[in-house]
Structure 1
Amino acid sequence: MARLPLLSGHVLALLLLVYLTLLHLSGLLLFTRGFLLSRLALPNIAPSTPNTTLPPTHSRAIVIIIDALRWDFLAPSPPAPPSPYHHNLAAHDPSRAFLFHSYSDPPTATLQRLKGLTTGSLPTFIDIGSNFHSTSIKEDNLILQLASSPRFGRRAFMGDDTWLSIYPDSFTPNLTSPYDSFNVEDLHTVDAGVTSTLLPLLSSQLPPGTPAESQPFQFLIAHYLGVDHVGHRLGPDHPAMRAKLLQMDSVLRQVVALLQEDTLLVLLGDHGMDPKGDHGGDSVLEVSTTTFLYSLGPALRTLPSPLPAALTPHTTYPGSPSRARSIQQIDLVPSLSLLLGLPIPFNNLGSIIPELFWRPGALESALRLNAQQVWAFLCAYRESGSGKELDDAWDGLERAYVTAKSVGRPVPSSGSTDGGEQARISINMSFAFVRQALETCRALWAQFDVVLISLGLAVLLLSCLALGGLYSSLARGRAVWEEVVRQALGAALGGAVLGGALAWGAGRALGPEAGKIGLQELVLFGASAGSALLLLLTTVLPNNLPAPTRKWDFDSLLAATVVALHAASFTSNSFILWEDHVVPFLLLTLLLPTLLRAPSAPTTHLQYRLLGFPLLLAACIRLMSISTVCREEQHPNCHVTFYASSTLPVSPQLVLLLALPSAWRVLQISKSDRGLAPLFLEYGLRASLLAGSAYWLIEQLESWRGLNPARIPGLKDIRMVLARVVLSCTLVGGYSTWALAPPCVEMRMSEPEGELDKPPRERKRQLIVLGYTNSYGSLYLLFVLVFYALTGQVVMVLFAVALLSHLETTDSVRDVEMLDMSAIAALDPTAPAPTGPQRAYPAPKMVEIVLLALLGHLLFFATGHQATAFIGFKVLTYPYSAILVVLNSVGALFLSALCVPLLAMWQVSPVLKTQEGRVYASVGCAACAAWLRRHLMVWKVFAPRFMLSGITLIVIDLGLILAVGVGSAVTSNKIRRMFGTAP
């Protein structure tokens, strides 16, 4: 009979899983160091001298940022079809008002865009990771230059508190009004607070003509968040968006009415939003935003001649009937700096906006200073530790700068225009050089360190091979699996020490010749690779383990083929884009062996089970695959079903209504309903699922267009209380009850029929244990269901039914195999009969583990993989909000990892007083997940998939650690104490 390991055995299993997690982390770390490059921020500060700036046109400035202000919200010609919820702000004075379509570099997260708007630099992949943990900016920037200038002594700020995180000491303390930036549930508090601070401050200005230093402020930033929050919460096509944009229009009109002639007004968005209101990527709608400048006093453009066409590129917004003047968002940094008489920040790569300097002598001078600043930055970068990055492009950059400088000429102080041929050439060449530098650096910081990437991939590949060998060794040596694990851990530790020492010696010997690879990276690679390699050798070299009892049968070959096909699909953009359709196809393919085996099953009952459960599983897979969200590239061949529409990020009404009866009837298929199970299922699980369904129903009610807005706060409070009760009661109460409760079995005394005719004293009674054959599986299933109970979605119900169908199918296949082996033994007494664990329980097959892993992937796509940080919290609350973000994003794969021990426990009877061995199959799930490696593709397709894969791999590892260290350990010990089983 099969037995499961005791706590001592679980300690070994935990150590092995922790080692595998560390091995995965080391490979991912090396890979990300080469892939997620961080830009070198030079500490140089641009000096403020007459030779580094121009005379200021304005002595004060007001910068109003409307978060997520997409271009079409202000476009003079709205795109087709027009939305009734967007309106326009058009500029009518071509000399004092300018409206530009702005391109914001991805990633379009707020923090990265604020960095670009103040430093003029480009973001890199690694920057997006700091969006939830802002740190102060050390490199030269516009705010630093303002703080260093005596003319801007009073700097006011109000709005998104991210500004004070990245510039903690740059604003006047009594002129700051920060507000929490991550509470997307709140659509109005931040905006109302900003307006209530902004307008009184503008109203307190002294009469026109008063010196700027006597005014209440010289520089002001007001950052509104309502548009962004409406987009996240309700989408752009909602009446709330129209109301919010009208509110912003009203605020802007009041600001303009209070504007004085010495003040420059800048209105801009930091990024756009996609059709659902989200942002962070590089789709056209996310990178398209707005920049609007207005000068009540001095005209910024006085020359009547048109600007050179090369200086004024245009773009066409999707669906727009006309082209719009387009700029790079970082172009605002050098332009605003020179207009205020400040030097351009040292690390800037943006170009001045020509329209703002189309005055006699101004444009050529501005571009000359711009080109000098960019060249100084390139030279300093060339001399830094990362200077080799510029080697291939340096000659071209140098020629472009020398050419621009050679055709330049001194500009008279007055009385000249920029109409001369030499001036035009100088302007064009300077502008071309700055743009060439921008594109060079943009391409440069999108390149990868191939060496570090290769080292990371090598570690991950070795970990896959080592896991495969370890799985094989555990399958062959189940009777002595603890010794197998001890040998594996010893080999891993020895290999880590030996590999790390050799790598350290090689690094010290090579010194500078090691190139960009630091000694730490080299030692990490040596230790990781040496550890995995020695572990692999211990599994393939001759040992005392028995020969494999199961060859590569059809099931195993099919599972290996499916894994290989899934991995190979990541070599194609198209397959990555349509992965949500690829996974269901692969899952259905894995059901073929069972369906083909059904007609030949030895009993009619097993034939029905081998046909019914796989077909039920296939139906669940198909129904789950209906729920989807669409990538931008999938249109028009994809239709959003997870949300009510592609522009309304709430659940469809039908799905929410179906969630209630589905939650009520979930898990009725399971026959493991003894002991604690009825109480747990009837009151705990159902109540949690119903409460989860009610949460989403209330959330959709909040977005109902016919709802009185005054009732929304009350609904929010009800939803928050409901969520907190469910979270606390389910996690704390559920796991506490599970830990203290006995196994899901029921004991009864009965009298056989033959004993009924005897006198009562002479009758023999027998003890019947109901639920005995699945006492392990039923108890551990309740452990999994506590985590499962945190949602009320229909697809989660389908996943539960699919999981139980998979477990019952697996049990039926094993029954068939045991009957076949018994029949062979009866016909041929000389045939080797299975012994030990093989007799009571065949080892979990690769196809069973692969199917469970892919089922977790399908659940990931079916649940929309949308992160929500505020379930149960009105504001960003660490660490709970961050944990909920991760679990909401990859919780499906975490749940599938928790389910892995069920393959080893389902329908396994406890073994009484024997020492026949143990079953350990949890490592197999990590082996199935470890191949999630990616090839180098474009940023838009590959980078998000890689980030998901890395997080997924670690989450699965953590799920396995929790499953083995808590779930299966407690379950095994409970059964052992009740039935007196051996370890």
Structure 2
Amino acid sequence: MPTSALNPAPEVNMATPQHPAFGGSALRQRRSSHSSHSSHSSHSSHSSHSSYAARHPDRVPPKAASPNRAFLAVIGVLALVLLQTFAGLWLFVKGFLLTRHELLGANNCTRPADSAWTLPAPPTAFDDATLLKWAEMLDPQTGLGECRLKPTHSKAVVIVIDALRYDFIAPPPAAGSVSERVDLAWKPNPHYHSVLTLPAQLTAQHGSPVQAKRPGSAGFLAHFVADPPTTTLQRLKGLTAGTLPTFFEAGANFGSAGTGVGRVHEDTWIAQLRASILAQRGADARAGLVFAGDDTWATVLPGLFDNDTMWTYDSFNVEDLDTVDRGVESRLLPFLQPQHPDRKAGVHDHWRLLVGHTLGVDHVGHRFGASHEKMATKLGEMQRFLQNVTDAMDDDTLLVVLGDHGMDEHGDHGGDGELEVGAGIWMYAKSGFGHTARGGKMDAAEYISTPELEALLPSRIAFSPLPSPPYGGHRSIPQIDLVPTLSLLLGVGVPYSNLGSVVPELFAHPDTLLRALRITATQMRTYLAAYATQSPDLTAFRPELDTRWLAAVRIGLGLLVLVLGLASAWVLRSGARAGLIGRLDADADAADGDATVERASSGAEELGRVVYAAVRTPALVGAATGAAVAVATQLVPAGVTSLTLLDGLLAGSAVGSQLGLLLSASSANLRRSIRSQESDSAAVPTTIRVLDAAGWIVLLLHAGSFASNSLLIFEDRFVLLASAVLFLLRGAFAVGAASTQRQQVRLGLMAVVALLLVRAASMPRVCREEQAASCTSTFFAGTAALNSPYVMVGSYAAAYALPRVVAWFLAQSRSYVGVAPMFFTWALRPALMLGAGYWVLDWAVALNAVQASGEAARVEWVKGWVAVVALGLPGVAVVFWVFAPLCLEIRREAAEAEGEKTKVTILGYSNSLGSSYVLLVGAVFAVLFLVTQPAGQLALAAVLVAALAAMELGDAERDRVVLHRQRTETPAGAVHLCAGEVASLALLGYMGLFGSGHQATLASIQWRVAFLTSPTLSYPLSPLLVALNSFGAVSLLPPLLVVLSVVWNATPLPRGSGRKMPTPSVMLHALLTLALYNALLLTASAALAGTLFSRHLMLFKVWTPRFMLAATVALLAQAAAIAAALAGWHTANKVNTIFGTEFA
């Protein structure tokens, strides 16, 4: 706000030397004066000043006390809250999110296939004991059972087309087969419908296996349903081992390539095939297993393919559409085509398995979206490749073409949306799969289907991208069913850990199908029996109580720690405001002479001492108790997972510290808190109390909305409404309380600007699947995942204008001086413009004209270096900020009359804390600007300017409190940020989250930003870039903005004033309010997901992702709060050094 009586610019009545921290000025060239009448420059570090202080100690104020202890207490309290939150999450997650135990067993059955095998003689009685004894005879290891079938094919070619969605290969509707109603509602997409037609053509030409009356060519085309999370690494586990993934495993996908994370230790059908081949050829022979494509396979299945016939390619470079696909084609075709020019004797002979994993379709989706002309081009390439494969394969070869997952219209995947799980599969053999004895009288799926099974795993699932009719009845199979099916068709054992069944259409004869089902069921029973001895998951059947109690204990402990954490944070927040009673140093004039007395803390330093004394012993006792309980749980029945030592330590120490703090805060502290609230009511205007209540009401409504499925999926609209309401209230109260017309206009303008910018920030939007027709995605240009050139122009303009807008806000307090102009001109603006320019180059490199010119590689190189420089500039800016002086400037005015002294004004003094801190916020913002796509960049720019407008409103609100206290003669004290102001900043963070193209879904993760600086995956930079893109706006910005609001226009108290600034306490109070906001959202999502909705059908689709977002935000935001407080500490040290300001 402009300089006023509440924050005046100091004037010095004579020429004084300028401290180096004042920045560039002509005065820096002057010689030092030996004395000064100004307290603002009396701390100059010149020897003449030191000698003067030695001669006249009564005239020179003592050296200012360091603020280190006060801010160290702030950091300690914030770290305590972070540790307690982590402990609660650790315990809750281990009881809530599913985990899976890997069993390292393998199917070691060596019994050869026997075409004449028959069942053992049936039992003569049918009691349970007799039936179980007879069933043991079907065990292939100890009884007379079989473990494999005679192979239908000796060789197999498996082509994985990454992200091959079912409708990409589904046959087009026959002419006249679609009703007039469907014709009007559905139109084929020219970019991916009826492009890859070979699977449908050959299947229609030769028929499916169940339709065959005699051996011959046959194909099977189906909707291939993946299990979420739909990430490549997890899908490859399911496609090779037949296991089901968990949410925990989704995080391994990023760490897969070259890290060893995500390796499959369980049995797979490829391992079974290799063991079978080497058993015949010898352990030192080549198995003839060949691979080319996605390098994830090298991590998932190391050592299974022959080393000299395994070619891997980088899987994460989404900018490269062709290298992997061309590599797969050039490496595999020589094995199939005898006349291929690259074929070499001894290398391309005697193979048994060819696996190719192409990535072009997936990369086109990530880069451009599904509805783009490059998708048609890529599917056309796959059509030609598959045509070459089918033309070259012989009668003894089985071809399997499949997608590991699907993609949505923007090319994203990872969640459980219909388009993400809807992959396609096509199996084809020129010699067919045998003949049927059913004569087509009954559908094969009906042989193994029951009403109960259809309810769980329907054999036909509608797929919305295709018209229904006629596609309402297409065949759907789970992906894990491929594992036993392919194993038995190739004549090898079913993998030990498999949970899939067989595809009945591929075992056309009823007798063969029955034998296949029996082999699979025997294997599954063996695995489940072994799994029940290692994991509590299955022992619910013997009995359920022994399995569920520990999960309930973990969930209960986790929720207890989270709830106690809320109470602890509230107590700490109250302590930052009114103090906590503890044993502290006595006043110098204490009558009884005791060194310590029971009294309320004053300032952050004493608060930290009280908190430490309250939690130290209870935390140690709790940790010891928790460790003892963990040891005791080792005595629980076998098969039930016990509490680990880490569980016990975390739970005990967290609960102990929380209870110790709560108990110490009871009684006297509680009464003091009530009295403090009563005194605050008198010391705070009614409008501020209303804003404080409005902030808590918004928080409660935000957390309460998680109890409704409908409200939760439209959280982005709630955030917009809540932000608008708060800014409307704040603006109305500010205008109503303004003392002058100029202030009314100015504050009203700030509120209107904030309202308009909040609305603008909500315009870029990515819709989640559940929002359906109620939402229109505006983040990208149309349905493709392309950035609009118009938006990029706007983003570039915003990058240029934003530093000037921030400078305008600084100019209101005459703080745009010193190093600030240089910082904005040579650091912030170039970094922002490079961030916007990167996405322009990213858009340009994909243009057909650039591709045709041959300059695409050069543009890619330039784009990468632009990103490197755009990241490097903020890094250099932060280093500069650490050592830079304050944003100050001294101006001299000549004496107006002879005999008068020169008047010197220090510009920027009233906002010296805020003007310095905003430089750091700008540097962090520049990084977030780069990693956000253009529409999101506009949203972030709107959020930042709205936050600065909120600073001005907040400053006016605190001025109102000061004036109210002066009018009512209320004792002066620290003026804290009200809950409404903190809630506004927290909601702006969520506006940035949703406006940057995200939702609380896995599918909205923008993986492409991992390659901003390099076309290949790099650690740890790539995961860090994705994390910044996904969580930076909601985790990093709010803590920084809260601290900025605390120090904005907080005029330093000069040395000798006899008072200390309560900045550390105010900062702690505000950051704890923000922590309470995030913690309550976390606790609400955890409690609802872990208790009320733990059996809800939408648990893992809606509530679990929201809980994961809340957990990530709570941890990252609290860590960012510590970093923000450290930066505030550093800024306070600068002010302490220059002006002698003391902090408490």
Q: Determine if the TM-score, normalized by the shorter chain, exceeds 0.5.
A: yes
Contact 1:663 1:686 in 2 (8 A): yes
In structure 2, the residue matched to 1:796 is: 940
Q: How many angstroms does 1:492 deviate by?
A: 2.6
1: CA distance, partners of 2:347 / 2:1037: 61
Change (3 A) 1:195 1:602: same
Equivalent residue for 1:523, pick from 645, 649, 654: 649
Q: Is residue 896 of structure 2 the alignment partner of residue 756 of structure 1?
A: yes
Q: How many angstroms does 1:189 deviate by?
A: 1.1
Q: How many angstroms does 1:146 deviate by?
A: 1.7
Secondary structure class of the residue paired with 2:230: coil
1: CA distance, partners of 2:435 / 2:235: 28
Residue correspondence of structure 1 range 31-110 to structure 2 within 5 A: 31-48=92-109, 49-50=111-112, 51-77=146-172, 80-86=186-192, 87=195, 88-89=197-198, 90=200, 91=203, 92-94=205-207, 95=209, 96-110=218-232
In structure 2, the residue matched to 1:700 is: 843
Q: Is residue 775 of structure 2 the alignment partner of residue 632 of structure 1?
A: no
Q: Is residue 481 of structure 2 the alignment partner of residue 331 of structure 1?
A: yes
In structure 2, the residue matched to 1:463 is: 565
Change (3 A) 1:295 1:282: same
Equivalent residue for 2:778, pick from 634, 641, 648: 641
In structure 2, the residue matched to 1:29 is: 90
User: With structure 1 as the length reference, what TM-score do the two structures score?
Assistant: 0.88
Q: How well do the aligned residues superpose, as a CA RMSD in angstroms?
A: 2.7
Whichever residue aligns with residue 952 of structure 1, its letter is: V
2: CA distance, partners of 1:905 / 1:953: 23
Residue correspondence of structure 1 range 689-728 to structure 2 within 5 A: 689-704=832-847, 707-709=850-852, 710-728=854-872
**5+ unaligned residues in a row in structure 1: which ranges?**
395-443, 826-831
Residue correspondence of structure 1 range 127-142 to structure 2 within 5 A: 127-133=249-255, 134-142=261-269
2: CA distance, partners of 1:213 / 1:739: 61
In structure 2, the residue matched to 1:780 is: 917
Contact 1:5 1:918 in 2 (8 A): no
Bigger drift between 233-242 and 70-79 goes to: 70-79
Whichever residue aligns with residue 352 of structure 1, its letter is: V
2: CA distance, partners of 1:352 / 1:508: 44
Change (3 A) 1:640 1:509: closer
Contact 1:5 1:919 in 2 (8 A): no
Q: How many angstroms does 1:505 deviate by?
A: 3.3
Secondary structure class of the residue paired with 1:669: helix
Deviations 1:770-797 (A, max 9, x none): 1110000000000110011232621122
Equivalent residue for 1:669, pick from 784, 805, 808: 808
Identity of counterpart residues, as a percentage?
35
Equivalent residue for 1:747, pick from 847, 865, 890: 890
Q: How many angstroms does 1:511 deviate by?
A: 4.9
Bigger drift between 493-502 and 806-815 goes to: 493-502
Q: How many angstroms does 1:270 deviate by?
A: 0.4
Whichever residue aligns with residue 665 of structure 2, its letter is: T
Contact 2:236 2:300 in 1 (8 A): no
2: CA distance, partners of 1:507 / 1:959: 32
Q: How many angstroms does 1:368 deviate by?
A: 1.6
Contact 1:153 1:213 in 2 (8 A): no
Change (3 A) 1:972 1:558: same
1: CA distance, partners of 2:66 / 2:702: 33
Contact 1:773 1:909 in 2 (8 A): yes
Contact 1:301 1:355 in 2 (8 A): no
Q: How many angstroms does 1:381 deviate by?
A: 2.5
Counting matched residue pairs gives 911
Contact 2:158 2:401 in 1 (8 A): yes
User: With structure 2 as the length reference, what TM-score do the two structures score?
Assistant: 0.76
Change (3 A) 1:156 1:630: same
2: CA distance, partners of 1:137 / 1:36: 20
In structure 2, the residue matched to 1:163 is: 297
2: CA distance, partners of 1:968 / 1:214: 66
Deviations 1:314-347 (A, max 9, x none): 2322133323111111111111101111011122
In structure 2, the residue matched to 1:975 is: 1135
Secondary structure class of the residue paired with 1:220: strand
Q: How many angstroms does 1:5 deviate by?
A: 7.1
Contact 1:584 1:622 in 2 (8 A): yes
Q: How many angstroms does 1:203 deviate by?
A: 3.1
Deviations 1:469-490 (A, max 9, x none): 1011111138422111122133
Whichever residue aligns with residue 502 of structure 1, its letter is: T
In structure 2, the residue matched to 1:584 is: 720
Whichever residue aligns with residue 38 of structure 1, its letter is: T
Equivalent residue for 2:275, pick from 148, 166, 182: 148
Q: How many angstroms does 1:287 deviate by?
A: 0.8
Bigger drift between 500-509 and 969-978 goes to: 500-509
Q: Is residue 1027 of structure 2 the alignment partner of residue 886 of structure 1?
A: yes
Deviations 1:729-766 (A, max 9, x none): 222x2112212221111111224xxx5232xxx23112
Q: How many angstroms does 1:622 deviate by?
A: 1.0
1: CA distance, partners of 2:318 / 2:1080: 37
Secondary structure class of the residue paired with 1:931: helix
In structure 2, the residue matched to 1:368 is: 518
Residue correspondence of structure 1 range 313-392 to structure 2 within 5 A: 313-318=459-464, 319-320=466-467, 321-322=470-471, 323-359=473-509, 361-386=511-536, 388-391=538-541
1: CA distance, partners of 2:626 / 2:767: 46
Q: Is residue 1057 of structure 2 the alignment partner of residue 903 of structure 1?
A: no
2: CA distance, partners of 1:308 / 1:99: 14
Q: How many angstroms does 1:380 deviate by?
A: 2.2
Equivalent residue for 2:760, pick from 623, 638, 641: 623
Q: Is residue 825 of structure 2 the alignment partner of residue 682 of structure 1?
A: yes
Q: Is residue 1109 of structure 2 the alignment partner of residue 948 of structure 1?
A: yes
1: CA distance, partners of 2:668 / 2:338: 87
Bigger drift between 140-149 and 697-706 goes to: 697-706
1: CA distance, partners of 2:564 / 2:191: 55
In structure 2, the residue matched to 1:542 is: 668
Q: Is residue 966 of structure 2 the alignment partner of residue 853 of structure 1?
A: no
1: CA distance, partners of 2:858 / 2:968: 70
Q: How many angstroms does 1:227 deviate by?
A: 0.6
Q: How many angstroms does 1:27 deviate by?
A: 1.1
Q: How many angstroms does 1:497 deviate by?
A: 1.1
Contact 1:17 1:960 in 2 (8 A): yes
Q: How many angstroms does 1:547 deviate by?
A: 3.2
Q: How many angstroms does 1:109 deviate by?
A: 0.7
Deviations 1:700-733 (A, max 9, x none): 22344565444433322221111111111222x2
Deviations 1:178-202 (A, max 9, x none): 1111111111111111111111233
In structure 2, the residue matched to 1:929 is: 1078
In structure 1, the residue matched to 2:454 is: none
Whichever residue aligns with residue 457 of structure 1, its letter is: L
1: CA distance, partners of 2:538 / 2:66: 56
1: CA distance, partners of 2:757 / 2:621: 50
Contact 2:95 2:552 in 1 (8 A): yes
Contact 1:160 1:181 in 2 (8 A): yes
Q: Is residue 751 of structure 2 the alignment partner of residue 614 of structure 1?
A: yes
**5+ unaligned residues in a row in structure 2: which ranges?**
1-5, 8-63, 113-145, 174-181, 210-217, 256-260, 281-285, 450-458, 580-600, 931-936, 999-1004, 1094-1098
Contact 1:609 1:809 in 2 (8 A): no
2: CA distance, partners of 1:799 / 1:461: 31
Q: How many angstroms does 1:458 deviate by?
A: 1.4
Change (3 A) 1:448 1:111: farther
In structure 2, the residue matched to 1:833 is: 971
Secondary structure class of the residue paired with 1:756: coil
Q: Is residue 318 of structure 2 the alignment partner of residue 184 of structure 1?
A: yes
Q: How many angstroms does 1:664 deviate by?
A: 1.9
Task: Look at both structures and tell me which one has the larger radius of gyration over its CA atoms.
Answer: 2
1: CA distance, partners of 2:90 / 2:147: 42
Q: How many angstroms does 1:299 deviate by?
A: 3.9
Q: How many angstroms does 1:225 deviate by?
A: 0.7
Equivalent residue for 1:451, pick from 553, 557, 582: 553
Deviations 1:578-637 (A, max 9, x none): 000001111122231441352233333333333221221111111111121111111211
1: CA distance, partners of 2:156 / 2:824: 63
